[in-house]
Every structure is written in C-alpha cells, then in structure tokens.
Chain A
Amino acid sequence: MMVIKKSIRTRHRYLLIRSNINGKDLLREIMRRAYKYLGILSIPKIEIIESKDNLHILRISRKEFNKVRIALILENEPRIILLKSSGTLRGIKEN
C-alpha cells in the first residue's frame, strides 16, 4: 500500500452544527452556499462525518474553513447554527 507523506496530506478541521435538515438535503444546502459565496474554483471537500438528532459534524479542509463558516451563516433559511470548531474529531466530541 502506498503511504502518503504527512506533509502532503490534506489537513482538516471539524465543525459542529445544528440544523433541522438532515442527510443529503443538508449536504446539498451546504454545497449550495459554498458554491454561491466561494465560487466554483475554491469549493472545498465537505463531508458529514456524524449526525445525531439535529447535531451534525462536518469535515472541511483547513484552507477554506473560515470562508465556509462565513458562507454558512450568511443565509437565513434554513438556519444552520455553528456551535463549535476543532482541529480533531476527539476535541469536537468533548462536552
């Protein structure tokens, strides 16, 4: 198996959000906002790692993390509330 050097790996940050919509609809809404405010050339890879009730954990590449957060709060409906951000999954699951 080919090992990727640590320095080449994409670094991520994790974001805990609260939203009424779930699953594919949520990811579609997040990507729509990212596309609208960041533009097609700087859309990052965004994944939903975990979902429980209305809480969701997103994994976003570190480069565009701040811009994505701003894109998420600029629109009003459906409301996506940013709760916590962390560099590790463990950090975000605490509390």
Chain B
Amino acid sequence: MRKFYDLHVEFEWNDPSQLGYERIFIPFFITNKYDRDQINIMNVEKGKPKHLNSDLFRFRDWRFDIEILSKIRDKNKYVEFSFQDIAKEIKEGHIQRIRLFTQVIRAYKIPYIFTSGAHNIDETRSPKEIALLGEFLGLSQRGVLDSMSKNVENLLEDKGWI
C-alpha cells in the first residue's frame, strides 16, 4: 500500500494518519539561504524565482516563464500546488489562471507535488480529496496521487532522509 506525505502544513498536526498520511512536514520558506535540514519552499512572484536552490517552487500568482519551468524540470525540482492556494483562487473567480498553469505543467512534463497548505485542522485535506481537485484542474488522478507519494519519496531520498 502506498504512503502519502504532506510537505506543507503550517501547524503541529498530531495525528495525520487519520486522513491517511504517513508523515507531514512543516516547511521553511526560503529567502536567501537553503536549509538542508528542512523542506525548502520558495514563493515565486511574477513567474521569476530569485534562484533555483530550493526543493519546491510555489507560484503564488500563477504567472510563469516556460524557460524557468524547464530549468526546474532539468534540475529535478518540483512545482508546488497548494490546495488552500487553489481554493482561494477559485473563490475569487480566477480558475482560468490555474487551468492555464496546469496545462503548461502537463505539456512540458514539469514534476509537481500537491500539498494541503493547511494552517489549522479544518484546512487539512485527505489525498483523495486533493486528487479530486487535481482532476478538476485537468490533471490525472493517478498523477496527483503519485505526486503526494512517489515524488515526495524521491525528494526525501535525494535529501537522504529515507
């Protein structure tokens, strides 16, 4: 049976196995320095990250530059899809931006990881629920579930944590 991981939770969640997670991580939001002991997430504004030394790239305004996305793919880094970010955009009526972004991710085969981005217990979502949203955005259910298990395991292996 496959194991699921949530790389972006911003509170102390005592029992993640309730929703089917093996382990969760509280990430470090990178500014300049890369922290080897934590999961590093870089917030990307206007599609241009400051540098490419990070584990995950969170495109907050869903703008992108295909050259930079290709570099992310070539360096075996991942793009983050946070459930709470997507839900916020949908509520504001900007779903078309995310659809375009996911189309590009699919077309250029950029590796991605889905996370919940939860700040409290009510914001957490199970892997199946996250996969449902991914399907709605045009990704495959299998791809989304793999992003929370296989891709995370690959990332943790690269960091030497597994």
Kindly state the interface size class of chain B when it binds its partner.
10 to 19
- Closest chain B CB from A82 CB (angstroms): 6
Kindly state the interface size class of chain A when it binds its partner.
10 to 19
B123 touches A66 (CB 8 A): no
What residues on B are CB-neighbors of A66 within 8 Å? 132, 135-136
User: Is B128 in the interface zone, CB < 8 Å from A?
Assistant: yes
B125 touches A77 (CB 8 A): no
User: Is B68 in the interface zone, CB < 8 Å from A?
Assistant: no
A24 to B153, CA, bound (A): 44
Residue of A nearest to B120 (CB): A76
Count: A-B pairs, CB below 8 Å = 28
A77 to B132, CA, bound (A): 19
What residues on B are CB-neighbors of A77 within 8 Å? 122
Contact with B along A61-74 (1 / 0, CB 8 A): 00000100110011
What residues on B are CB-neighbors of A49 within 8 Å? none
A82 touches B128 (CB 8 A): yes
- Known interface pairs A66-B132, A69-B132, A70-B132. Does A81 touch B126 (Cβ–Cβ under 8 Å)? yes
User: Is A79 in the interface zone, CB < 8 Å from B?
Assistant: yes
Residue of B nearest to A77 (CB): B122
User: Is B75 in the interface zone, CB < 8 Å from A?
Assistant: no
Chain A residues within CB distance 8 Å of chain B? 37, 66, 69-70, 73-77, 79, 81-82
| Listed A/B pairs (13) with beta-carbon separation below 8 Å | A37-B90, A66-B136, A70-B132, A70-B136, A73-B129, A74-B90, A74-B91, A75-B87, A76-B122, A77-B122, A81-B129, A82-B128, A82-B132
Shortest beta-carbon contacts, A-B, top 3: A76-B122, A73-B129, A79-B122
Chain B residues within CB distance 8 Å of chain A? 19, 87, 90-91, 121-123, 125-126, 128-129, 132-133, 135-136
4 A-B pairs besides A79-B121, A81-B19, A81-B129 with CB distance below 8 A are A66-B136, A70-B132, A74-B90, A79-B122
